[in-house]
Amino acid sequence: MKSVRIFYLFLLLAFLPFCSFAQTQTGEGYFLHTITKGQSLYSISSMYHVTVDDIIKLNPGSEEIIREGKTLKIPQTKTSGTPRFHTIQSGETLYRLTVKYNVPASTIMQANPGLSASNFRAGQVIVIPPASGQTYQETETPKPEVSQIDPSKKWQDMHKVKKGETIFSISRQYNITEEELIAANPEIRKGKLKKGSFLAIPYHVDPQAAVEKKDPSNDELFNENKQEVKRLATIKAAIILPFGTKGQLSQNDKIRMVEYYRGVLMACDTLKRKGVSLDIYTYDSGSTTASIKAILNKSEMKKMDIIFGPSHLEQIKPLSDFAKEHHIRLVIPFTSKDKEVFSNPYIYLINTPQSYLYSEVFDHFLKQFKQPNVVFLDANDAEKSKSEFVKELKNFLSLHQVRYSELRSDNITSEVLQSKVDSTKTNVFIPTSGSNVALIKLLPQLIVLTRDHPTYKVNFFGYPEWQTYTKDHLNEFFEMDSYFYSSFYTNNLFPESIKFSASYRRWFGKDMANTYPKYGMLGFDTAYFLLNGLSRYGSDLENNLNKQNIVPIQTGFKFERVNNWGGFINKKVFFVHFTKEGELVKIDFE
């Protein structure tokens, strides 16, 4: 059986005590971008290396709201050494772009790993990489090549007619057809030649050569330049996280980092038992860019297949640049706020950026509740306010013609709640805060309403934080037929959760901290999903990401590229349902 070799930077670190669409390319200086689901002005500006203000200046009103399917003008930069963005137009092909920008098809494909023959269509934006640091030299798109022989303009000779010569004999002399000779000299169409006159002798036209030369199709070019799939006999993975041995780290952060690392080790052990060979390198990232650069200077780093980390935001940029230069996958486990994913095709962002997360939640919301009557309950809790979520959900509901209303905290009684109920619809009450204080204020009044009017269809909908309040409100959640959304969820009674927790306790002699999410499970799910994918698909992992039949313990995965040249974000969102029958159900939307 193949072995797993673990290279520790710090001996027995796992057991350390916790002591230390664009529709057309128009306009001067800009192109059009078609907004897709989940995009925000921030994400769009990050994709194109411009500022949000730059976009707003060209698109007045976009600071208020942008909508899927609409277009934005994006300023085009043409400075030396910077990428140029091109919107594919109707009828355009990859071959036409290679001619237009004088860039090989393979270069365009490498710069746009999300591009394929199947999604090469009008409205897609792609990046055209600069050639050798030079500015772009666009050329006119040429017309299809045809034979250089044009009987009406080019002659191979002029022939002086001699006595006794005929059209047949002259055409034979020059190896052309009679038709070609007549076409070049219409005056001899009647068949009479005059001695001493001159005839234009055209070149012979091969019928096959006269046919227009066809451009290579997208399928042909993509297949011709497709890179060979490489299998990995041994996967080399680096874990770069702050463990507290360098610099300051709070006790809670230290616990989280070590638990995540332990989860990764457990995933490696599981894969080892399945015959997967792994080399795992572990480094303490510290908290500065200098400490990251010291790690990246190590000779073995260039040979990595995948890197997990870092945690500190300021360390992501140098690590991202390194991963991009050396074609190494970089898994960012915790933050959702870094913009490198929008321009680095090797990045995997595990924690979903807010705008993409909300768009998934809203879509699932209308799948779960068909044309509901929505009532927002303002609990007047600024500390845990969900104002941005509520604002975006209101816009989404308005766009889909779903009625909603709002009640202020100083006027929320069971009688007032009843006045907002529609007896013919499902009534979904949503607090505007994710705090426990809001639950304490609102749940008693809602329960009175449902008990007094048992025929009403009423649901309570809320936030991931509710996982930490179930101990206080479990029975109330069940009685209110409640839901909350989350990217991370496990029920401690699920068999896989019980099995993992027992294994963790056996390995490390203690339980995981009672946090949301559980970092040990997060490390296991993330490492197992990606390392297993690399062992199965090798360099073709990105084309098979969502084909793995893996049931996670806590963290689901639904990876999608943010654009044709960027990395992947995880769009997986669950709804957790506390049913009136006392069941706890995780709803997994496809």
Sole residue written with tokens 């227009």 = 212
- 316 beta partners: none
Residue 9: which of 266, 241, 191, 282 has the closest Cα? 282
CA 78/CA 84 separation, integer angstroms? 7
**Model confidence pLDDT, tens digit, residues 21-72:** 333 444 458 899 999 999 999 999 999 999 999 999 999 999 888 999 999 9
470 within 8 A of 480, measured Cβ to Cβ: no
CA 329/CA 543 separation, integer angstroms? 14
Is domain 30-142 annotated with CATH 3.10.350.10?
Answer: yes
Residue 135 is given by DSSP the state P
**Is 355-486+578-588 the same fold as 155-210?**
no
**Peptide bond preceding 207 in cis form (omega within 30 of 0):** no
341 within 8 A of 569, measured Cβ to Cβ: yes
Domain 1-20+230-350+519-557, CATH class in plain words:
alpha beta
**Model confidence pLDDT, tens digit, residues 534-582:** 999 999 999 999 888 888 899 989 999 999 999 999 999 999 999 999 9
76 within 8 A of 138, measured Cβ to Cβ: no
- Where do the H-state alpha helices sit in 350-386? 354-368
List average pLDDT for each run of 10 residues in the chain, which is 590 residues long.
44 35 53 93 93 94 90 83 86 92 92 94 91 47 38 70 86 87 84 84 71 79 91 97 81 93 98 96 94 96 97 95 97 92 96 94 95 92 85 94 89 87 96 93 94 95 92 94 94 87 96 91 97 96 90 92 96 95 89
Is domain 155-210 annotated with CATH 3.20.20.150?
Answer: no
Domain residue spans in the chain? 1-20+230-350+519-557, 30-142, 155-210, 355-486+578-588
CATH T-level topology, domain 355-486+578-588? Rossmann fold (3.40.50)
Q: Would you state the pLDDT for residue 373?
A: 97
* Residue 560, helix vs strand vs coil: strand
**Model confidence pLDDT, tens digit, residues 366-376:** 999 999 999 99
CA 23/CA 88 separation, integer angstroms? 8
Q: How far is CA 108 from CA 76, 81, 102, 462, in A?
A: 18, 15, 11, 44
**Model confidence pLDDT, tens digit, residues 417-445:** 999 999 999 999 999 999 999 999 999 99
